[in-house]
Structure 1
Amino acid sequence: MCTPTVIWVVDDDASVRSGLSSLLRSLDYEVVTFESGAELLAAVARARPACIISDVQMPGMSGVDMFARLVDATQPIPTLFITAYPMPELRQRALALGANAFLIKPVSVADLTTALHAALSH
């Protein structure tokens, strides 16, 4: 029996978390969701996902700031960003920190799964 691949999703919008969770579960991934970067950072001390899918703009701490803290504190975790606000400076910063993808909402299922498979195989 194989251990399921665990994907963490962080987004302050409950409907986005729910939609991504449903999609990822339909692709046979196990999903853990967080509504803030701070929640995810607290959890990474106890567990480690195969990949993170994060919103960029969130109250309190942006997804890119959360990712910068992860990069400083742990071994790299493949990370995909999804945003409705594709600011070039945030995209550049995220990719410079080592993010695997910076996708723009609404993201197609094909683009998301392609980016996810690439991140997991890296």
Structure 2
Amino acid sequence: MPTKKPLIAIVDDDQSMREATQGLMRSLGFDAEAFSSADDFLRFPHLHRTACLVTDIHMSGMNGLDLHRSLVALGKSIPTVLITAYPNENAHRRGLGPDIVGYLAKPFGEQDLLKCIGSALARGTDWQDR
């Protein structure tokens, strides 16, 4: 039986950031799907397979924090990395929760993102069973 690769979901309304992050994830051997809005991600038929969510905090429509809260309300525990071009200590504190594995200011280093994703994947391998 082939081993499933972790699925990393990227939600960012900035197309260049979304595509760059998706390309990086794929180059590192992950399955990666990118979405331009939180609503698009919530309609993703493979939401249950998502091993880690990387989402921008500041987006039009539903923002990244609200997306995370919606997932929690739906009973979907997805380790999440919050990213932002506008770092703010209040948003950082509000965003902290059991499923938040990172808070990164854009532009962030590849190694910083990988460390967060490593933390997400280390939380368990239940994504393999989804």
Matched, 1:22 2:27: no
TM-score if structure 1 supplies the norm length? 0.92
TM-score if structure 2 supplies the norm length? 0.87
Calculate the aligned-residue CA RMSD, in Å: 1.3
Tell me which residue corresponds to 1:84.
85
Percentage of identical aligned residues: 34
Give the secondary-structure state (helix, strand or coil) at the position aligned to 1:100: strand
Aligned mates of 1:9, 1:2 — CA distance in 2: 22
Check the 8 A contact 2:10/2:54 in 1, yes or no.
yes
Check the 8 A contact 1:8/1:33 in 2, yes or no.
yes
Aligned mates of 1:59, 1:47 — CA distance in 2: 21
Moved over 6 A (4+): none
AA aligned to 2:39 is A
Aligned mates of 1:46, 1:114 — CA distance in 2: 24
Give the secondary-structure state (helix, strand or coil) at the position aligned to 1:52: strand
Structure 2: runs of 5+ lacking an equivalent: 124-130
Aligned mates of 1:78, 1:67 — CA distance in 2: 9
* Alignment length (residue pairs): 121
Structure 1: runs of 5+ lacking an equivalent: none
Shift of 1:97: 6.0
Tell me which residue corresponds to 1:61.
62
Shift of 1:16: 0.6
Shift of 1:29: 0.3
Check the 8 A contact 1:68/1:97 in 2, yes or no.
no
Shift of 1:67: 0.6
AA aligned to 2:77 is P
Aligned mates of 2:93, 2:36 — CA distance in 1: 24
Give the secondary-structure state (helix, strand or coil) at the position aligned to 1:68: helix
